[in-house]
Structure 1
Amino acid sequence: MKKIVLLLTAFLLIAPVKLKADEGMWFLMFIERLNQRDMEKMGLQLTAEEIYSINNHSLKDAIVQFDGGCTAEIISNQGLVLTNHHCGYDKIANLSTPEDDILTNGFWAKDKETERPAKGLSVRFFVRMDDVTKRIMSVVNDKMTEGEREKLINQEIAKIQAENDGDGRYTVSVKSFFQGNEYYYFVYEDYNDVRLVGTPPNSIGKFGGDTDNWEWPRHTGDFSMFRVYTDKNGNPAEYSATNVPMKPKHALPVSIAGIKEGDFSMILGYPGRTNRWMPAQGVEQNIKFAYPAWVEGSKLGMDVMKKHMSNDDAVRLNYASKYAGVANYWKNRQGMIDALNQHQTVATKTAAEKEFQKWANKKENKAKYGDVISDINAFYAATNTKARHDNYLMTMLRTSAMAATPYRLSGGMEAYAMGDEKKRKEMHDDFIAYVNEMYDGQNEALEKEMLAKQLMLYAAKSEGYAIAPYIEVLKKDYNGDFNKYVEEAFKQSVFANKERVLAFIENPKGVTISKDPLLKLSVAIMEQYRAKSDELAKLEDKYQKAYRLFVDGVVKSNPTGKYYPDANSTLRLTYGTVKGLPRGEKVNDAKENWYTTLKGTVAKHVPGDEEFDVPTKLIELEKTRDYGMYADKEGHLPVNFLTNHDITGGNSGSPVLNGKGELIGLAFDGNIEAMAGDVIYDPALQRTINVDIRYVLFVIDKFADAKHLIEEMNIVRK
């Protein structure tokens, strides 16, 4: 524990020269200055220019943001895309029906004509980035309120975006880093015709289910394959039968030469969110107030979904993606609570902040930094119970469609009802399409039970901060029986199901939307979730300034340091080595605890079990050891392996690369021991769990018999 305390204190104060080489999520444009020497000593054989170049093709041209929340990579000169099974999960589920259940049974297109368009799926290519800190900072000063700063910064951001969007060809995003002390712009190109090429059955892609999630050892084939299409000139285009497979600037070579512990490796991807700079009381608030409410609300939602999914295949497919997302964060947040408590993170950060305060109290620093910690702590003290309240509301919104759907539809429905015949005709088709999208796959029985139970939980557990006034009234009127209220509301409401909304569109006369019971509830939920008193607004203004000054002060206290910003869904590189863990209570099938094999997969087989039923063909291939060219040197088929990379959510699907820039694996998870990794980095325990690329290719080749896809890739054997 002492080692962890010293490491984190060094980070916060800052002594970055002590940062481990495997810690950090780094900007590609700074690799040559900050990271290249370290990486070369560890085994990198590429130049910084070969990783990130504006003018020439480089590794970054093969890395894409997938569906807005994951990472994927181009692995052929025909636009073939590889990502995680769980990243493609909702698209695969949407393409499934009870009669053609490809989520359960798997799917492999025999040729390009049988690839399946994935509605709403896009991939984003990174073009370039640049530093605009000086420009942004030139329009603000320390005398401004945070609101005034934000207004002027947003105006400048709009100008930067307009200057760099290539007359609408590119998407430009300007983001703040180090809590508003630095700004960079990012230029992207989006491709919207993306088609499903192949997916293993759920029994491979999600093997281990919730039980093994965040655990090691793992035996999961967490991958799926898509393809990017363009118009005939290679430009982004909406879906068309005349589109052609993309010819990418760079496609990753795929190495089956094998790996060993200690080998250099790196990951490029789009990590979603970390909070390494979070103050002590922010961590305390999460542990004691926010995360327990998140865990409880999520578990309730999972139980309701599971009950209905188990009884109906159509419901199972329609809610599969939502259930998986809720379950993932349910386990994550409980793991965060446990890990942050175990690491004594609040005490460690509090000690570091006391040291910061000594620096802030120096004569030359006091006027600017002296009140920083007290202002930060005052904000958290005032918002602890609100954080609990907001997380109960948030999990209601995440699990109950009826908590938000009426609110989202109401504006359009009122405009439609009040419009003349011409206005309604103009709105009609698009409005129907929107309603169909909103209600797609909803099950009324599930939604009624979900809403009633989440309301009961919220009304009972949001202590110390007032619940929504309308829900308080309902609680009294129905003596806390929200089941009765929901039954009555669904009988009366035009929003209860798609059929009633569509009937309203065809004949809106006589319906007063504002009096609808489900709309009144939905408005109450959304207004309460967004509510902010004048007092809280002032506290938040002081907090935002204090947090920005805290980070600024930490950096100024050690200006020669080597820093990386928190993750925020921008392209980053992290590097380290293939590295195992000490053997734990769960026995690994492999000789060393940095990899697993197909033998271990079959050893977990439980016939008929939803999580551990191994496909018969996979069992037969293991029994005959028919591994083809994908076996390791000892004759085993590798499945998953560990590295010590610094990743987080959003890195799912990221390529794991060797020193030559060749694909050796696919990142898909972290380990439960390092669940606090979004807040602290623990070099002893932090690990990334990856699918070995040899297992991916084996499943495609030997299990699925989709050899045409193997032939499409550049396979490196040495």
Structure 2
Amino acid sequence: MKKVVLFLTMCLMAFPVRADEGMWFLMFIERLNHRDMEKMGLQLTAEEIYSINHHSLKDAVVQFNGGCTAEIVSKEGLVLTNHHCGYNAIAELSTEEQNYLKNGFWAKNRSEELKPKSLYVRFFVRMDDVSKRILSKVNDKMTETERNKVIQQEIALIEKENNEGGKYTVSVRPFFQGNEYYYFVYQDYKDVRLVGTPTESLGKFGGDTDNWEWPRHTADFSMFRVYADKDGNPAEYSKDNLPLQPKHHLPINITGVKENDFAMILGYPGRTNRWMPSGGIAQNVKYAYPAWVEGAKTGMDNMKKFMKQDATVNLKYASKYASTANYWKNRQGMIDALTKAKTATAKSNEEAKFNAWANKPENKEKYGNVIATINDYYAKTNLKSRHDNYLTQLMRTTSYGAGPSVLGNALIAYYKENEAKRTEMIPKINSLIGNYYGDFYAPLEKEVLTAQLNLYAAKASEYGLAPVVAKMKETNKGNFAADVDKAIAGSIFANKESVEAFMKDPKPELIEADQLYVISNDLMTKMRAKSPEQLKADDDFAIAYRKLVEGLRESKLNTIQYPDANSTLRLTYGKVRSLPTDKRNDAKINNYTTMTGMVNKYKVGDSEFDLPARLLELNKAKDFGEYADKAGYMPVNFLTDNDITGGNSGSPVLNGKGELIGVAFDGNIEAMAGDVIFDKKLQRTINLDIRFVLWIIDKYAGAHNIIEEMTIVRDAQP
């Protein structure tokens, strides 16, 4: 028996699992969760959920392009995920003439499916515990630098031992703040093609207004297909590739859901911070997140001005804008929820109890200074966190932020090398050019850079601005418009054409004098800079945080017995569960929404609430086919109390038989503190009802070929 399993089991005897909270490892389901799940309605064995030697649910759940989750829903490798997860690929494949993002797309046969340039899905093969192996290589006498070096060396060995000569991708990840380590084996498939997507007015219905809100009415889904070589192995795109024959695909149940039905979600949650100290929560609420929100809004407002004026520009920036807007609203919701819940105070009270335990004679040597060190660190880094978030949003919202520095430094290195080495470096140079200038409109980029520099110089100066920017501010009084105009007008990095022209007739000595490069490099250098004092503070904090988590588990002062999310496959379970009655929702119980409610939100020509004429016609005729609820309405979205976060977008929502009943796509803003603390009363997952997905594919789009290849369960559950 592995030591970690024994430890977790003992803890659970003292602290019963709350069924709706927790992001659990699949390898521990039988020991830790299975009995509880059975009581709630699970009808599968643990082996049917996670098996190394036989097909199981885990074989039908994939990580989608590194940031979302998706599920396999046919024997022919058909993939279902969120519309916002497929957004980049759909936008890339779209043109002004063939705007699939705006108008939708449905392949009537395999030959019509479209291949984006870069898109992959990752299958989970297996995992195992390597905590004992890795931690046996380190000791408390090591510095953090020494410790990390030893750990990385051992990780490299483990990854090499398990990749079978490059067949698999192996990732070793730390958990419980470096107190445990597990390795994960994956297989990546890169030939993934677009099969279908609803119009943007359906896939993004409600826009920014409804984002993170309930009641919700949106068709947030898109469909792709995984292709493999003739032997079923991963392969680069080829017309000779065949649809993947997966080990397992999810049957789809269309009998509907009701209050208290069992609901299970498998997916790749991105990041939670349930172990974060009170000082970190306070820092986010007062310093980091307000800067993030203001910086993101500045970028969005200036992007939108140009996006409204030109359809091509709108298409180029649709994905960047949507991503920025999503996190902008998320971070504001986090500020409000964490403040309202007084989360920092609750954590502080827990830490006071821990500190008392830590300073008992038997614990003091190891844990006595933990809380003091952590609190000192946050006090010293509050202003830095504000500064860094303003600067980060500048970098994220304009290619002129990081682009000139990264590309400029790459070119400087390139021109210092011999001919042979340059040949090796060319693909990287071309990739950087594509990254920064692929979806690029110079007037927009200039406007965003100007606005962000104005904001940064005004709001981040208390910590200390980047030196060049600080000097410019002395003369321009905080208005960078003229400086930016001048810098771009004479820059090598003004656009793709100017970079390519420079490379045809290079004068490397001009790069370091290029004013746009100077500004960008100044900002990037400031972002990366760490004094010896800061490096030591970082090391001291890392040690203290690791000991805090270790001590909280040892003392049983914290009942969280699952590790924070970090983009590894997890299972969460709970029930279909309503929120208090809301007059905005026409549903009889506030755990689902209907097409009637969707049509009630309809606004002709509105960018967020317009609807296609065909949907309005079908709704008027009540032409819902077999997908209507037995009560007669057309279901759209529904609520569960599962514990999810970013990265779970696109995750399958399963009933007790492991059949697909919905697709997770959002959380509710009232419980936005969920990444830090789970709110049992308010926390909800907003899901797309699978019946609405099928109705759109079948009745609305007429893509019967897609319906025919799926396994649909029509019999009512017992």
Alignment TM-score, normalising by the size of structure 1? 0.96
Aligned to 1:109: 107
Change (3 A) 1:433 1:643: closer
Q: Does 1:694 align with 2:688?
A: no
The answer on whether the counterparts of 1:601 and 1:614 sit within 8 Å (CA) in structure 2 is no
Aligned to 1:520: 518
The answer on whether the counterparts of 1:385 and 1:463 sit within 8 Å (CA) in structure 2 is no
Aligned to 1:335: 333
- Could you tell me which of 580, 599, 603 is aligned with 1:606? 603
The CA deviation string for residues 635-660 of structure 1, in whole angstroms up to 9 with x for no partner, is: 11100000000000000000000000
- Could you tell me which of 361, 364, 369 is aligned with 1:363? 361
**How far apart, CA to CA, are the structure 1 residues paired with 2:425 and 2:13?**
60
- Could you tell me which of 294, 299, 309 is aligned with 2:307? 309
Q: How high is the sequence identity, in percent, across the aligned residues?
A: 63
Change (3 A) 1:369 1:638: same
Aligned to 2:588: 591
- Could you tell me which of 163, 166, 169 is aligned with 1:165? 163
- Could you tell me which of 618, 622, 645 is aligned with 2:619? 622
**How far apart, CA to CA, are the structure 1 residues paired with 2:598 and 2:442?**
38
Change (3 A) 1:369 1:55: same
SS at structure 1 position matched to 2:587: coil
Aligned to 1:633: 630
Aligned to 1:85: 83
The CA deviation string for residues 264-291 of structure 1, in whole angstroms up to 9 with x for no partner, is: 0100000000000000111000000000
SS at structure 2 position matched to 1:364: coil
**How far apart, CA to CA, are the structure 2 residues paired with 1:192 and 1:565?**
30
Change (3 A) 1:15 1:614: farther
The residue type equivalent to 2:401 in the other structure is A
The answer on whether the counterparts of 1:14 and 1:554 sit within 8 Å (CA) in structure 2 is no
Change (3 A) 1:292 1:431: closer
Aligned length: 705
Q: Does 1:119 align with 2:117?
A: yes
The CA deviation string for residues 152-198 of structure 1, in whole angstroms up to 9 with x for no partner, is: 11110010001001100111100000001000000000000000000
Q: 1:35-434 alignment to 2 at 5 Å?
A: 35-418=33-416, 431-432=429-430, 434=432
The CA deviation string for residues 48-79 of structure 1, in whole angstroms up to 9 with x for no partner, is: 00000000000000000001000000000000
**How far apart, CA to CA, are the structure 1 residues paired with 2:627 and 2:456?**
52
C-alpha displacement of 1:400: 1.2
Q: Does 1:673 align with 2:670?
A: yes
The answer on whether the counterparts of 1:14 and 1:557 sit within 8 Å (CA) in structure 2 is no
Change (3 A) 1:259 1:434: same
C-alpha displacement of 1:464: 2.5
**How far apart, CA to CA, are the structure 1 residues paired with 2:461 and 2:335?**
20
The answer on whether the counterparts of 1:373 and 1:546 sit within 8 Å (CA) in structure 2 is yes
The residue type equivalent to 1:543 in the other structure is F
**How far apart, CA to CA, are the structure 2 residues paired with 1:428 and 1:130?**
39
The answer on whether the counterparts of 2:354 and 2:557 sit within 8 Å (CA) in structure 1 is no
The residue type equivalent to 1:634 in the other structure is A
The answer on whether the counterparts of 1:417 and 1:509 sit within 8 Å (CA) in structure 2 is no
The answer on whether the counterparts of 2:552 and 2:558 sit within 8 Å (CA) in structure 1 is no
The residue type equivalent to 1:551 in the other structure is V
Alignment TM-score, normalising by the size of structure 2? 0.96
The residue type equivalent to 1:578 in the other structure is V
The CA deviation string for residues 603-644 of structure 1, in whole angstroms up to 9 with x for no partner, is: 111000000011111111111110011011111110000000
**How far apart, CA to CA, are the structure 2 residues paired with 1:618 and 1:133?**
54
Change (3 A) 1:428 1:126: closer
Change (3 A) 1:430 1:279: closer
SS at structure 1 position matched to 2:544: helix
The residue type equivalent to 2:111 in the other structure is E
Aligned to 1:538: 536
The residue type equivalent to 2:688 in the other structure is V
Structure 2 unaligned runs (5+)? Answer: 1-10
SS at structure 1 position matched to 2:84: coil
The residue type equivalent to 2:664 in the other structure is A
The residue type equivalent to 2:186 in the other structure is Y
Aligned to 2:3: none
**How far apart, CA to CA, are the structure 2 residues paired with 1:567 and 1:426?**
37
SS at structure 2 position matched to 1:116: coil
The residue type equivalent to 1:548 in the other structure is R
SS at structure 1 position matched to 2:188: strand
**How far apart, CA to CA, are the structure 2 residues paired with 1:325 and 1:27?**
28
**How far apart, CA to CA, are the structure 1 residues paired with 2:296 and 2:284?**
15
SS at structure 1 position matched to 2:83: coil
**How far apart, CA to CA, are the structure 2 residues paired with 1:410 and 1:54?**
47
Structure 1 unaligned runs (5+)? Answer: 1-12
The residue type equivalent to 2:284 in the other structure is N
The residue type equivalent to 2:537 in the other structure is L
SS at structure 1 position matched to 2:85: coil
C-alpha displacement of 1:533: 1.1
The answer on whether the counterparts of 1:357 and 1:373 sit within 8 Å (CA) in structure 2 is yes
The residue type equivalent to 1:677 in the other structure is G
The CA deviation string for residues 9-62 of structure 1, in whole angstroms up to 9 with x for no partner, is: xxxx99972542110000000000100000000000000000000000000000
The residue type equivalent to 2:77 in the other structure is G
Moved more, 55-64 or 471-480: 471-480
C-alpha displacement of 1:432: 4.2
Moved more, 537-546 or 505-514: 505-514
The answer on whether the counterparts of 1:34 and 1:562 sit within 8 Å (CA) in structure 2 is no
Change (3 A) 1:425 1:347: closer
- Could you tell me which of 680, 684, 705 is aligned with 2:681? 684
The CA deviation string for residues 203-231 of structure 1, in whole angstroms up to 9 with x for no partner, is: 10000000000000000000000000001
The CA deviation string for residues 416-446 of structure 1, in whole angstroms up to 9 with x for no partner, is: 4445666666766774464234301200000
Change (3 A) 1:631 1:498: same
The answer on whether the counterparts of 1:83 and 1:223 sit within 8 Å (CA) in structure 2 is yes
C-alpha displacement of 1:527: 1.0
C-alpha displacement of 1:558: 2.7
The answer on whether the counterparts of 2:446 and 2:484 sit within 8 Å (CA) in structure 1 is yes
SS at structure 2 position matched to 1:174: strand
**How far apart, CA to CA, are the structure 1 residues paired with 2:345 and 2:375?**
14
The CA deviation string for residues 86-141 of structure 1, in whole angstroms up to 9 with x for no partner, is: 00001101111111111010000111001000111000000000000000110001
SS at structure 2 position matched to 1:110: coil
**How far apart, CA to CA, are the structure 2 residues paired with 1:76 and 1:524?**
51
Change (3 A) 1:121 1:265: same
Aligned to 2:4: none
C-alpha displacement of 1:232: 1.1
**How far apart, CA to CA, are the structure 1 residues paired with 2:573 and 2:12?**
21
**How far apart, CA to CA, are the structure 2 residues paired with 1:593 and 1:58?**
33
- Give the RMSD, CA atoms, in angstroms: 1.6
The residue type equivalent to 2:659 in the other structure is E
Aligned to 2:443: 445
